[in-house]
């Protein structure tokens, strides 16, 4: 099977703390956090790797936090290549209130890369796509401040030049730019999709992206499951959901869905219903796990429980 190559331009070390009750203004004693090299593309690579698929995760990494990021990634066993940069890798801090049940997240926004560092990251992508090993290219997550506006469209072009499909999962203007570049699959969530397109309905928004050039738009909608729009099926869309929503940790659920879609595309599967089923099941299986970047082995059972609906809209 061919490799899933992921690119994470703004990775983070994810620090997850369990806190027995959070009191604003107080001092809290906490155990050492679960520390993990994170960022959406890393989560995609971890999930595909967990299920035995060949992967390569690409990301910039810098400073002392970057060294911590690199050390965790090495110990994870996920094949990767880090591009050294001057800027410190960012952190994302999750405070899991084990009494109140809520998780509060504090995401550092990331630091700008130098132009030569963006070139080095692009060169790492070109090298990863060289030869016959790569089956799909996935670009995931936010961009650090000062990133080239065409970063995601450029990834789509590099994938197509190498003859493989491109998946992009980002928010904001990057979604529109990736659609214009002809991305094979976009995976916004419902909020990101409406915000990026300015449309009032998910269907109008997904159709806008397809009109711009995207082939497939997979929309994650939390407990509502997922919707799938395809450029060759203009008359409606598929949706998939579980009979009952699952309780758990939704962080990284969308990334698990992207992992499923990427594994399908890397295996030569392009059938939209097959992709929607596995993406919805893997995404639900991620909710059952305490950390992003892992899915429960129940994913196959969950796939069998899915309720699939075709909604005719023309």
By CB under 8 A, name the one of 16, 50, 61, 111 that touches a second copy: 111
99 sits near a second copy (criterion: CB under 8 A): no
Burial class of residue 24 (count of CB atoms within 10 Å of its CB; 0-12, 13-18, 19+): exposed
Residue 102 engages a second copy in binding (rule: CB under 8 A): yes
Instruction: Please state, in angstroms and rounded to a whole number, the distance separating the CA atoms of residues 109 and 214.
Output: 28
Nearest to 140 by CA among 225, 46, 76, 222: 46
Which residues are CB-contacts of 185 (< 8 A; sequence separation ≥ 6)? 165, 166, 167, 168, 214, 215, 216, 217, 218, 261, 265, 275
In the complex, least distance from residue 90 CB atom to a second copy, rounded to whole angstroms:
7
255 is catalytic: yes
Q: How many residues bind a second copy (CB under 8 A)?
A: 38
**Residue 25 Rama label (left phi>0; alpha psi -120 to 50; beta):** left
The residues in 29-58 that bind a second copy, with binding defined as CB under 8 A, are 29-33
Task: State yes or no: residue 195 binds a second copy (CB under 8 A).
Answer: no
Q: Exactly one of 14, 255, 271, 301 is catalytic; which is it?
A: 255
Of the candidates 244, 211, 210, 230, the residue with the CA atom closest to the CA atom of residue 276: 230
Binding string, 246-285, against a second copy, x = CB under 8 A? ----------------------------------------
Stretch in the footprint of a second copy (CB under 8 A) among 39-47, 102-110, 213-221, 254-262:
102-110
- Supply the minimum distance, in Å, between the C-beta of residue 63 and a second copy: 8
Q: Which range of residues in 62-70, 113-121, 172-180, 211-219 is near a second copy by CB under 8 A?
A: 62-70
Compute, in degrees rounded to 10, the torsion defined by CA atoms 149, 87, 48, 192: -40
In the complex, what is the shortest distance from the CB of residue 217 to a second copy, in angstroms, rounded to a whole number?
Answer: 23
Active site residues: 255
């Amino acid at each position: 099977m061919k490799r899933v190559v992921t690119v994470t331009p703004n990775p983070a070390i994810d620090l997850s703390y369990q806190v027995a009750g959070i009191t604003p203004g107080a001092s809290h004693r906490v155990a050492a956090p679960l520390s993990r090299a994170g960022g959406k593309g890393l989560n995609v690579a971890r999930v595909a790797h967990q299920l035995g698929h060949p992967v390569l995760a690409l990301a910039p990494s810098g400073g002392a936090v970057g060294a911590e990021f690199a050390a965790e990634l090495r110990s994870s066993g996920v094949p990767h290549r880090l591009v050294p940069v001057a800027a410190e890798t960012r952190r994302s801090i999750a405070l899991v209130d084990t009494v109140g049940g809520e998780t509060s997240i504090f995401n550092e926004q990331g630091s700008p890369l130098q132009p030569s560092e963006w070139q080095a990251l692009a060169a790492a992508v070109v090298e990863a796509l060289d030869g016959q090993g790569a089956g799909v290219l996935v670009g995931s997550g936010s961009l650090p401040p000062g990133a080239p506006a065409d970063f995601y469209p450029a990834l789509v072009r590099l994938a197509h030049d190498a003859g493989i499909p491109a998946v992009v999962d980002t928010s904001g203007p990057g979604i529109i730019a990736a659609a214009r570049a002809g991305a094979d699959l976009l995976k916004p969530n419902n909020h990101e999709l409406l915000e990026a397109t300015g449309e009032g309905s998910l269907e109008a928004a997904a159709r806008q992206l397809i009109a711009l050039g995207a082939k497939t738009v997979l929309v994650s909608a939390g407990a509502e499951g997922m919707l799938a729009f395809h450029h060759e099926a203009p008359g409606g869309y598929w949706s998939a959901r579980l009979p009952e929503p699952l309780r758990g940790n939704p962080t990284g659920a969308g990334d698990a869905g992207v992992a499923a879609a990427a594994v399908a595309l890397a295996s030569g599967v392009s059938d939209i219903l097959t992709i929607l089923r596995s993406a919805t099941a893997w995404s639900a299986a991620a909710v059952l796990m305490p950390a992003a970047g892992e899915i429960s082995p129940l994913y196959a059972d969950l796939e069998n429980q899915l309720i699939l609906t075709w909604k005719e809209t023309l």
